[in-house]
Each structure stands twice: as C-alpha cells, then as structure tokens.
Amino acid sequence: CVPSSRPTIDKPYRKPRLLLVGLFVALDIVFTNAGYLFLEASFVEMIKSSMPASVLLFGLAAGLEQRSGVLLAIVVIISVGLAVATVGEMNFHPVGFALELLAVLCGSARLIEQQLLLRYGAEGKLHSAVGLSPIQILYYQAPISFVTLLPAALAIGTTRMRHDALLKDALYVIETILILIAGGLLAVGLNFGDILLIDRSSALTSTVLGTVKTAVVIGVSWITFRNRISWLKLSGYAVCV
C-alpha cells in the first residue's frame, strides 16, 4: 500500500524471467485443478510426488545440479514408482493423468526459474549478478499469474453462475467467499515459504520436502472421501518418496 516501499527491479533483463515464473504458476494451477475433474485427490498427489525427478532434470539442464550416475538412478527409481502407482490406480483417466504431468512440468520449471532469479541472476551464471529477494519475486509473480488466470476464470465462472441455484442462497455465497479468501491467504503463505526455502537451499530440496505434504494429503483424502487405494498404488508411491 506504500509506494515508496514497493520492491523494484533494477535490471530490466530479469523481467522476462519473472514473466515466465508468473505464467508457470498460473499454468500449474490450471492443469492441477483441471486434473481433479478426472482423478481422485490421492492419485493427483501421488503424481505430484514425481516432481523431484523433473526438477532434477530441469536443474541439470540449467546447470544448477551436477551430473552423476546416482542422480540418474534416482530419476529412474522415481519414474518406476510413479508407473507402479499408476498401474495400481483403480480410477485411472488418461486425460487427467496428462494434465497432472503437465502441471508437474510447469511447477518444476517455475521452481528452477525462481532459483535462477534468487541466486544466479537472469543470465543463469553463478555470481553474475545480485539475486532478487523472495518478496520481490512474489510481488511481481502474483499479478502476472492473476492476469493470466483472469480471462478463463471470468469465462468459466459466469457460465456456471447462470445455472447454479445455490448462488441464490446468501449464506452459501458468504461461506464460499470466506473459503476463497482463506485459501488465498494460505496460498500466499505457501508461495512465500516455497521461495524462502529455495533461497536458503534449492529447488530440489523444496520438492523433496513436498513429499511430506503429499503424504498428509493422501491420508486426509482417504479419511474424507474414502478413496479406494490399492496396495500396489501405495507401494509405487512409497518408491517415489
């Protein structure tokens, strides 16, 4: 709210990378949420557990991780685990699976771009420039994602609102707005925490720690929705972790 305290970008060449980060965040949200229309929450999170492998591959391509046989073996094992979990999924849908894989790729690319901005400058070279701060990245990333999502949100939202009888219920509308605000605040906290973690460690560490969240979501999903989870599916997820 105070113009004088707003973060600025001193080097214009960083702006394209910030634009990419905002776009990847928006696409990650779109593909992830679209996948929920076809797949159960527990299986979605199991697919997300493959993200360390894609982050590792992107990190190798960007020069952030050193190539080694151990890392290659890790990627192969995670991929095998995901394949086993997929075979064990009782409600598998190819469209939903493809959407979630796209979400994983977008999320991985976002983490790598953020790490480059935090530590390596826009040129991707170590010590080539002073990196941006986490709050700078979040400050510019959020409005880019908002603008990217807004047209689709308006189009889909207005179409559904015309046929939703529940919108005539004032209590339902108020509860929905409060849920959206609470979710938004949690999302800001999550994004800021992610960027801080990448700043202190790396994009790969952030995704590995994300498997803890995945385990919680799978457990809560089963308790809430009683999704059918086979032992084969669980064993594949265990391999990913």
Q: Which helix (H) or strand (E) holds 6?
A: none
Length of the chain: 241
With bands split at pLDDT 50, 70 and 90, how would you rate the model's confidence at 105? very high
pTM for the model stands at: 0.73
Cα–Cα separations (whole angstroms), residue 74 to 45, 57, 80:
19, 11, 10
Task: Look up residue 66 and give its two tokens.
Answer: 């050193």
Cα–Cα distance, 178 to 180 (Å, whole number): 5
Q: What is the pLDDT of residue 196?
A: 86
Task: Kindly indicate the confidence band of residue 26, based on its pLDDT and cuts at 50, 70 and 90.
Answer: very high
pLDDT tens readout for residues 29-73: 899 989 988 988 778 877 887 788 888 888 888 887 788 888 778
The SS3 assignment for 80 reads: helix
pLDDT at 123 over 50: no
> Please, which pLDDT band fits residue 122 given cuts at 50, 70 and 90?
very low
Print burial letters for 120-149: b (CB count within 10 Å at least 16), e (below 16).
bbbebeeeebebbebebbbbbbeebbeebb
Residue 130 tokens, joined: 């002073």
Q: Report residue 120's pLDDT band, with 50, 70 and 90 as the boundaries.
A: low
pLDDT given for residue 103 in this prediction: 94
pLDDT in tens, 147-191: 999 988 888 777 777 777 777 788 888 998 999 999 989 988 888
Q: What's residue 152's pLDDT?
A: 82
Residue-wise DSSP of 157-208: HHHHHTT-GGGG-HHHHHHHHHHHHHHHHHHHHHHHHHHHHHHHS-HHHHHH
pLDDT at 130: 61
Q: How far apart are CA 203 and CA 111, in angstroms?
A: 5
Overall average pLDDT of the 120-141 stretch: 65
